[in-house]
Amino acid sequence: MEKLSFRLTAPNRAGGTRAQTIVGVVASGNLEVLLERSLPAGTCTIDIATAAHGFGAVWDAVVRDFVARRAAGGLRISINDGGARPDTVALRLAQGVRKIEEPER
Amino acid sequence: MTAATANDVPLSWYEASARQRIDALVDAGSFCEFIGPELREISPHLAIFNLPEQFDDGIVIGRGRLDGAPVLVAAQEGRFMGGAFGEVHGAKLTGLLRAARALKQDVVILFDTGGVRLQEANAGELAIAEIMRAVIEARHSGINVVGLIGGRAGCYGGGSLIAGTCSRLIISEQGRLSVSGPEVIETNKGIEEFDSRDRALVWRTMGGKHRYLIGGADIFVDDQALAFREAAIATLAIRSRFDPNVLQAEQKRLERRLHRFGDVEDAIEIWEVLGIDQPTGIPALPTGAFLRAANKRENADDAR
């Protein structure tokens, strides 16, 4: 397993009030993303454990793009990755920030 | 009418994730998870093998309501390591069943498993034994433990043993229930015994229709979350008995089953012996027609 950590300045604060949410599952070509609202509003951390080694530069590009474009401020994001492609990762991250915006039932 | 509080969005049980199934099963908004992913109670073994972990170790447990009644729920995620039982995965289900006994609340187990996780086989096998004991102890104290089978991974290996101890089983056509999986049988006994790539053979040997016809499952439903929900509500309304008479009746039923079907080679022949008209047509029948055709099925009503 390769572990990667990013601490980024987030321009957009995460919406909604949910404390946490989770999307995806750990399977071949898939990943789970756990999002917890536990950081200052202008910060986003992303910790990744991935089965696919040597793709640090790709992860760097995907997570920077995500934090710049989506409302990720204040989120501590933890990822368990089963070797997902960058587009799948971007999709799950987008699903995650959308889900944490949803009102609690 | 129960749909008032259901999440009545059409959802294929087979396609859904563990969390989607729970959301669709219990009354809307009633689920409260125990030991959720944020606690990161992960497997202590997978890292040794350099394998990816999942924060909930492939099983979601908690409490919710079914048509207003409190119920404890466990759902396996069949896509994570085939829904297999490891140490933490198993301990969560054992704990839930013990809580059921203490709280006097019924349990619904959403099976989706290939059995024991090979990377932590000893812990997994022990977990299966503990869970079976916990199911029996819960049932002995009057708790209903209902199994729902219709996931991608089916219900195999140790999972099938646990299913065998449940009060009642609800299954869909897509649900498969068997101790050994198709590949395992082929590997051990040869392709002449069982061709694991013959999908029709797999479905008619282990699939929901066959299990329902021979009394291996009690209720047959469509591959829809709402169908599973309604069947679970109806099933939990029945107080199932559990005493030596029940076990003896089940033993007699299984002996009779072996006597009736022991010599036949294929599921279709079993359906023929059952007296079903046009047994070769069974796999293609839609649910309504199948349930009408299944009126001569074996059942375990006395035993469970």
| pLDDT tens string B10-38 | 899 999 999 999 999 999 999 999 999 99
Q: Which two structure tokens, joined as six digits, stand for B229?
A: 């929900």
pLDDT confidence tier of residue B4, bands split at 50, 70 and 90: very low
A95 touches chain B (CB under 8 A): no
Phi and psi at A19, nearest 5°, equal: -75, -30
For chain B, what are the domain ranges? 6-242
Rounded-to-10 torsion of CA B92, B88, A32, B108: -20
Interchain proximity B47–A20, CB inside 8 Å: no
pLDDT(B275) > 90: yes
Lowest mean pLDDT among B57-61, B122-126, B208-212, B249-253: B249-253
Residue of B nearest to A50 (CA): B52
pLDDT over 80 at B304, yes or no: no
Residue B6's pLDDT is 67
Q: pLDDT confidence of A85, banded at 50, 70, 90?
A: very high
Given pLDDT bands bounded at 50, 70 and 90, which one contains residue B300? Answer: confident
* CATH number, domain B6-242: 3.90.226.10
ipTM of this predicted complex? 0.95
| Nearest residue of chain B to residue A2 (CA atoms) | B50
Among A27-36, B5-14, B131-140, B279-288, which is the least confidently predicted range? B5-14
User: Using CB atoms, which residue from A27, A30, A32 is nearest to B55?
Assistant: A32
Residue B194 forms contact with A (CB below 8 Å):
no
Give the model's confidence band at B9: pLDDT under 50 very low, under 70 low, under 90 confident, else very high.
confident
A23 contacts chain B (CB < 8 A):
no
Nearest to A25 among B38, B50, B79 (CB): B79
Say whether pLDDT at B3 is over 50.
no
Instruction: Count Cβ–Cβ pairs < 8 Å, chain A vs chain B.
Output: 44
A-chain CB neighbours of B79 within 8 Å are 25, 27, 30
Chain A residues lying within 8 Å of B50, measured CB to CB: 1
Beta-strand relationship, B168-172 and B219-221: parallel
Q: Is A49 on the interface with B (CB under 8 A)?
A: yes
Per-residue model confidence (pLDDT) at position B155: 98
Q: In this complex, do B77 and A25 lie within 8 Å of one another by their Cβ atoms? A: yes
Give the pLDDT confidence of A32-46 residue by residue, as tens digits.
999 999 999 999 999
Q: How confident is the model at residue B195 (pLDDT cuts 50, 70, 90)?
A: very high
Nearest to A32 among B29, B47, B54 (CB): B54
CA angle at B202 for the pair B201 and B204, rounded to the nearest 5°: 65
Residues of B in contact with A51 (CB under 8 A): 51-52
State the Cα–Cα distance between residues B100 and B113, nearest whole angstrom: 22
Angle at B108 between CA B240 and CA A103, to 5 degrees: 145
Give one DSSP letter per residue of chain B, joined into a string. Answer: --GGGS--S--BTTTS-HHHHHHHHSSTT--EEES-GGG----SSGGGGT----TTTTEEEEEEEETTEEEEEEEE-TTSGGG-B-HHHHHHHHHHHHHHHHHT-EEEEEE-B-SB-GGGHHHHHHHHHHHHHHHHHHHHTT--EEEEE-STT-EETHHHHHHHHSSEEEEETT-BEESS-HHHHHHHH-TTT--TT-HHHHHHHHBHHHHHHTTSSSEEE-SBHHHHHHHHHHHHTS----SHHHHHHHHHHHHHHHHHHTT--SHHHHHHHHT-SSGGGGGG--HHHHHHHGGG----TTT-
- Interface contact flag, A36 B38, Cβ < 8 Å: yes
Residues of A with Cβ-Cβ distance to B55 under 8 angstroms:
22, 32, 34, 78, 80
d(CA B5, CA B12): 19
